[in-house]
């Protein structure tokens, strides 16, 4: 049986559950997610896998995420093992090209992948991104500059954009 490993990042500012296979990072939870919710997501997207806590095995994943959240890292160097449709994968790859400290719109992403008329589908694919922060969907904003939906919640999106210097600190 194949394994999914999980660990938790829990500090004063963030609480995230991180999940990976032997092949790479598979899921980063929203800050409010429970382990039961994460287990349900894992069962749906990785049927036949067992979910086991292994803080040591996921040390590099949690270490890089902590470094990013502390403002010490601007680009992740982690293997990914994410499941999605070919369209979703294309969108997620485009998200990875948005530099730290910059934003773009949903229509920008649609144009980058050669599907300019598929803005809504791009938004749906972005919403399905399983690895928050690492695949930086928080850097996508409305065409008018407004902050728009984020699986991690709007407070978390604002916090991430402030961390990257996109938004002024309060």
Residues recognised as catalytic: 137
Phi/psi region, residue 126 (left: phi>0; alpha: psi -120 to 50; beta: rest), is alpha
């Amino acid at each position: 049986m194949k394994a999914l490993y999980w660990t938790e990042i829990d500090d004063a500012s963030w609480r995230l559950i991180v999940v990976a296979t032997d092949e790479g990072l598979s899921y980063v939870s929203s800050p409010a997610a429970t382990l039961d919710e994460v287990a349900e997501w894992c069962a749906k997207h990785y049927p036949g896998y067992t979910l086991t806590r292994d803080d040591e095995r996921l040390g590099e994943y949690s270490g890089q995420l902590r470094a990013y959240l502390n403002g010490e890292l601007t680009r992740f160097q982690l293997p990914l093992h994410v499941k999605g449709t070919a369209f979703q994968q294309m969108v997620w790859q485009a998200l990875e090209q948005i530099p730290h400290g910059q934003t773009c719109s949903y229509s920008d992403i649609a144009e980058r992948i050669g599907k300019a008329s598929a803005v809504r589908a791009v938004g749906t694919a972005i919403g399905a991104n399983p690895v928050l922060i690492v695949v930086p969907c928080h850097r996508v904003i409305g065409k008018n500059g407004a902050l728009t939906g984020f699986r991690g919640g709007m407070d978390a999106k604002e916090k991430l954009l402030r961390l990257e210097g996109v938004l002024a600190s309060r």
